[in-house]
Structure 1
Amino acid sequence: MWSRRRIVGEAVLAPVLALLATLSVLGDGVFAMAAVAVVALALSLLRRAFPASVLVLTGAITGVFSGFWALLMVAGWSAGPRIKAPRRALAAFAVSYVLYAGLSALQERSGLYAAQTLVFTTLAFLATTVVPGLAARYRTQRRTLMHALHEHNAQLLREREMIASHTRLRERQRIAQDMHDSLGHQLALIAVHTGALEVDRTLTDGQREAVGVLRQASVAAMHELREAVGILRDGTHAPEQESESAAATRGVAGIDGLVEASRGAGADVKLRREGEVRSLAPAADHAAYRIVQEALTNALKHAQGASITVELRYEPDSLVVEVANSPAPAPAGGGQRVVVSGGQGLTGLQERARLVGGMVHAGPVVGGGFRVAGVLPYGPQRSASPDGSPEPSPTTFVAAGNDFRGQRDGAPSGDGGEVIDWSGSPDRQKELDLAMGKKKKGVAIGCTVAVVVVVGLVALAAVAFVALVNESDKAMIEPSVYKSVKVGDAETDVRDKLPDGKSFLTEGLDTEGPAQPKGSSCLVLMSTEIPDSLDDEPVFRFCFKDGKLIEKRSYTVKS
């Protein structure tokens, strides 16, 4: 199907070519002009579908009607890239040239004008048909080559990304195995020993309660470690199926448990909820749990004794999770607390929120204290519109990234988060563009080709001119030479003054003009003088018999 731009272009170009074609038949009547216009329109519209046929047919028609020269140039431009086989393209252009030049030369009666027409049509065909065809063919082949190279380079980039992602996956598996072997063993020992302490009769009730909290924390840590190991291994949750209650304890519903655990550790924690409770997507639900968990952990480590407020606000488009603590009281004795921290918790929260389309902000508050706030969009819930059709929920705040494999279109290609657009020319293909050359290099190559073609055409014109001069020396004489020859002069003396006349320019001249004397042999030559009418060709005829010049005549023939 043609694009809108091509339709407009053809709608403008075809009438223009038809108008130019009718200029050659202006004096032949309306019917002839209409017929020529229809033929030009048809050839213009069919040149893309039948490039070779239109090129040959246009060449033949242009040889008879010179007004088709513009259509011949356009046909050459269209045929160049569309005739795929080089031999077939060469044959099509050669046949078109033969028909164009041959029919143009046949329109001239005089051999001189026929030769001039042949030279002119040859140069015109090369300049207006062959050169556009070669330029269009080069342009199309270069674009095809560049497209193929871009696709090949994009495929290589895909394969490189797949290899890199596979390497990352293997490294994750190694890390997961190390975590499972080291941390899993230690947490299992902690759970076993705290379980034994919990049933020890020598402990007080308060001590048993504290040991129970430790045992529950170690068991929860083992579950979370198993989940993290599963994600590191294959990017998904652990293979074993967990119950709905266990999954809920690591979502918004589990925040109450986090608050109670913090209170059990002696912290002053308050929990507030505002707005109508709405469900979140599983990933966002888990992110809310992790935000509260990390914020409470940081508050307990860095602000011991400070009051903590956990607030869940259900906004129309998102859930706002906020954990803020007041300034920590000074430690007794004026000492300074020593806190061990990896510094990666908040960074992990920001990444987790980004992956679900949300955001996390952490920082000090006015008057002292610290606050961690997260904004998480709701899940893909759909509400009914007034007409009963479902409406999508609000969009996310941050575009969610793809998975770490990076094998899909638009996926992050590396750790830096850059995006590769496989549909076009990625930034990573700049080296390929520089190697193959961009528009400036293409323009330079095109200009060089055009200069070479022009120089070649000029050289060909010079050679043709020299050949034409040599032929004219064999076939033309000055009027003064004609006057210097007298009837009765010896044939040898006369022929010494005259050229031999053996040239294609004099072909057919001996058959025109007055009848030749019987038994004589005549030499017909052309005159160098310019006639009053371009249709007249002045000639000189010398007839010899018995070794003498018996007649000389000057007359004109129709060219």
Structure 2
Amino acid sequence: MWPTGRIVGESLLSLALTLLAVAAGLADDQGMLPAIGIGLAAGLLSLLRRGLPASVLLATGAGSAPFFGFAPLLLVVAWSAGRRIDGLGRACGAFGLAYGLTLALSMLSGPNTSWSILALAAMFLLIAILVPGLAGRYWSQRRTLTDTLHEYNAQLLRERVMLVGQARMLERQRIAQDMHDSLGHQLALIAVHTGALEVDRELTGQQREAVGVLREASVAAMHELRDVVGVLRAGEDAGRTGGSAQGAGGEEPGTPSRGVAGIDSLAEASRRAGSDVEIRRSGEVRPLAPTADHAAYRVVQEGLTNAHKHAPGTPITIGLRYEPDSLVVEVANGPVAVPVGGGVASGRQGLTGLEERARLIGGMVHAGPTADGGFRLAGVLPYTSSGDGFPSPPPGDATPTFVAAQSDFRAQNPAGSAGDSDPVIDWNALPKELAKAVNRTKRGNGIAIGCGVVALVAVVLVIVVVVAGVFLVREVDKAMIDPEQYDAVTVGQTEESVRELLPQGDSFLNTGPGDGAPPVPDGAKCLTLLSSDFGSSWDAEPVFRFCFKDGKLIEKKSFETA
């Protein structure tokens, strides 16, 4: 189905061609009814030119020979046929047949026409048929070449994404193996030795409690390491790696929860280590997506870790505020009385990891000092998430509350900057690359060669048109005079003086007196020239004739011929 704009455009074009055909038919003295018939036929052929380009081209060319009203339509049809006839051979055959048929019918419609007039008509038809066709075909091939280049670009982007993904997966597997082999062994030793030390009878109750905290921390670290290794190997978030063998919430039985429900366990562990930790909750509790739930746990965990390392002994406040569109998680500690020395190990990567984790679910993280000299770490996490590591699209046309600038591979393609569509397939809505990839190189080379040939032919045609124009102007100067030149000549002048004032008349445009010329005086030789004025009708041609006898001008006449 055509869109509304195309329907309106085609209707207006058909109406315009109909009116032009009627006007040209009336100017050609066809009569009112024949002119209207020619106009209706032109309008119908205009509507059919898209579906039947070759047939409409032949019909228009054949109709333009006897009926001048088809001339405007011929230009439009030739352009359209050049765009829509598939294959170089079919296009050459269709245009060659249309040109030959039109020229042959032009010869049959005027049996007394000279060869010079036919040559001029052949040149005119060459311009009227082949030039619009070549222009349309060049435009079509240029558009096809542009689409092919876009397909090539999309294919390269897809291949690049695949290579990057494969490299990332291999690197994840390598890192996972290194972590499993090194950290796993060390944490297992810590857990075993702290477990044995916890039952030592020589330890006091406070020491045994501290050793128990260390053992639980090492066991929790082993579970964390196992989850991280699983994420690296599977390439999925920890919240989505739970299988049927896991317990509720994606955690195995007996392991601490790594979501909002596990924040109490983190606070309790910090209290057992000697810190004053308070949890403040506000708002109506709402469920979070697994990725957001896990991110909230990581924010609290990172905040507590930083407070223990950089502000030991200060009171810590954990805040959970359930806002209408997001969960705000805060970890704030008071000012440090005695600055901690520089021996505390810090990789300075925790906050960066939290920012990336929050960005991927459509949230944000902020860290900075408080007014009283303490430190505050806060995360704003939306309730809904697509679960695949990217922000969920907002409902309708609403703008999401939290927007983070894309800094991954999608930023390299401007087409993917808006919406959540895949930028790699914006130019390929249908899965067709695999079947067409084999022939793309050939087709691209063929299109490039075709465009070059079209450009060469266009240059040649332009040269031919310029040369023909110059030749036609020279021929007009040889065969045509103004009425003032005719009036300046008087009967009785010598033939030599008259011929000096007039052109020789040896031009293909000067075909003789034509039908309706008066008889030539006996024994006289006459020179017939065309007039620069228009005749009294479309078919009437004004002519000037000069007849000489015995070296003098004996007669000059002005008349019209058919």
With the length of structure 2 as denominator, give the TM-score of the two structures.
Answer: 0.73
Instruction: Read off the aligned partner of 1:296 and give its amino acid letter.
Output: L
Whole-Å Cα distance in 2 between the matches of residues 46 and 526 of structure 1? 53
Corresponding residue for residue 336 of structure 2: 328
Q: Structure 1 residues 404, 558: CA separation in 2 closer, same or farther (over 3 Å shift)?
A: closer
Whole-Å Cα distance in 2 between the matches of residues 37 and 412 of structure 1? 50
Corresponding residue for residue 371 of structure 2: 366
CA deviation map 1:379-418 (0-9, x unaligned):
369xxxxxxxxx99x9854458999998xx99999xxxx9
Note the C-alpha offset of 1:99: 3.5
Instruction: Read off the aligned partner of 2:212 and give its amino acid letter.
Output: G
Whole-Å Cα distance in 1 between the matches of residues 220 and 414 of structure 2? 37
Q: Does 1:297 align with 2:302?
A: no
SS in 1 for 2:83: helix
Whole-Å Cα distance in 2 between the matches of residues 44 and 316 of structure 1? 61
Corresponding residue for residue 84 of structure 1: 86
Name stretches of at least 5 consecutive residues in structure 2 with no aligned partner. 387-394, 429-443, 445-450, 481-490, 496-505, 548-556
Aligned with 1:61 (options 49, 60, 63):
63
Corresponding residue for residue 341 of structure 1: 346
Note the C-alpha offset of 1:243: 2.2
RMSD: 4.5
Whole-Å Cα distance in 1 between the matches of residues 112 and 416 of structure 2? 76
Corresponding residue for residue 313 of structure 1: 321
Aligned with 2:247 (options 238, 243, 248):
243
Whole-Å Cα distance in 1 between the matches of residues 510 and 101 of structure 2? 21
Whole-Å Cα distance in 2 between the matches of residues 358 and 555 of structure 1? 94
* Contact 2:190–2:215 (Cα < 8 Å) also in 1: yes
Instruction: Read off the aligned partner of 1:319 and give its amino acid letter.
Output: L
Corresponding residue for residue 425 of structure 2: 422
1:75-474 to structure 2, matched below 5 A, reads: 75-108=77-110, 110-112=112-114, 115-116=116-117, 118-236=118-236, 237=238, 241-244=245-248, 246=251, 249-330=257-338, 336=341, 338-379=343-384, 397-398=401-402, 420-424=423-427, 452-460=460-468
Whole-Å Cα distance in 1 between the matches of residues 524 and 142 of structure 2? 56
Instruction: Read off the aligned partner of 2:359 and give its amino acid letter.
Output: R
Note the C-alpha offset of 1:283: 1.0
Whole-Å Cα distance in 2 between the matches of residues 132 and 412 of structure 1? 38
SS in 2 for 1:111: coil
Q: Structure 1 residues 524, 102: CA separation in 2 closer, same or farther (over 3 Å shift)?
A: farther
* Contact 1:361–1:373 (Cα < 8 Å) also in 2: yes
Q: Structure 1 residues 230, 405: CA separation in 2 closer, same or farther (over 3 Å shift)?
A: farther
Q: Structure 1 residues 130, 337: CA separation in 2 closer, same or farther (over 3 Å shift)?
A: closer
With the length of structure 1 as denominator, give the TM-score of the two structures.
Answer: 0.74
Corresponding residue for residue 484 of structure 2: none
Whole-Å Cα distance in 2 between the matches of residues 138 and 132 of structure 1? 10
* Contact 1:115–1:505 (Cα < 8 Å) also in 2: no
Whole-Å Cα distance in 1 between the matches of residues 46 and 455 of structure 2? 28
Moved more, 458-467 or 18-27: 458-467
Whole-Å Cα distance in 1 between the matches of residues 453 and 378 of structure 2? 60
Larger Rg: 1
Q: Name the % identity.
A: 51
Instruction: Read off the aligned partner of 2:168 and give its amino acid letter.
Output: R
Whole-Å Cα distance in 2 between the matches of residues 507 and 170 of structure 1? 91
SS in 1 for 2:330: strand
CA deviation map 1:129-166 (0-9, x unaligned):
31111011011112112211221232122112211221
Note the C-alpha offset of 1:454: 2.5
Whole-Å Cα distance in 1 between the matches of residues 120 and 209 of structure 2? 110
* Contact 1:111–1:507 (Cα < 8 Å) also in 2: no
Whole-Å Cα distance in 2 between the matches of residues 151 and 17 of structure 1? 38
Whole-Å Cα distance in 2 between the matches of residues 273 and 49 of structure 1? 70
Whole-Å Cα distance in 1 between the matches of residues 342 and 529 of structure 2? 119
CA deviation map 1:211-234 (0-9, x unaligned):
111111111100000000111112
